[in-house]
């Protein structure tokens, strides 16, 4: 499974990380949690995930660059 490989790579490159250290660790942690999943999500978890995706539509990280000013 590629997530397990990614965790190994992530742990190896962790000392070299210079940008977004906290986010990088959060990303690694998310991969680890992901691998521990043993069953299907419940209906509530599905609803939470859908709501989370909807909320991200206004997240600045997901917005395109503004168009360049007209010359």
Partner 1 sequence: MKNFKLSRLLTSLSGAITGIAFGWLIASCILTGCATLDPNADPFVVRTEQVQKQADATFDFLLGVDNADRGFWRTNAPALHNFCEYLRTPIAVSPTHNSPRILAIERNVQDLKVQYKANRSAGNSNLLYQISSELSLLVLQGNSWSNIVSTTTH
Residues at the interface with partner 1 (CB under 8 A)? 1-4, 6-11, 13, 16-20, 23-24, 26-27, 30-41, 46, 49-50, 52-54, 56-57, 60-65
With left for phi above 0 and alpha for psi between -120 and 50, is residue 20 left, alpha or beta? left
Q: Is the dihedral of CA 64, 19, 6, 48 positive or negative?
A: negative
- Minimum distance of partner 1 from residue 41's CB (angstroms): 6
- Minimum distance of partner 1 from residue 69's CB (angstroms): 14
Q: Which two tokens stand for residue 47?
A: 């609803």
- Minimum distance of partner 1 from residue 70's CB (angstroms): 19
Contacts 24+ apart (CB under 8 A), 60-67: none
């Amino acid at each position: 499974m590629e997530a397990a490989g990614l965790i190994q790579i992530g742990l190896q490159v962790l000392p070299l990380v210079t940008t977004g250290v906290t986010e990088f660790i959060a990303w690694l942690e998310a991969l680890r949690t992901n691998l521990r999943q043993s069953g299907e999500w419940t209906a509530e978890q599905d609803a939470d995930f859908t709501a989370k995706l909807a909320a991200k539509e206004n997240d600045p990280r997901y917005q395109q660059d503004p168009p360049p000013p007209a010359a």
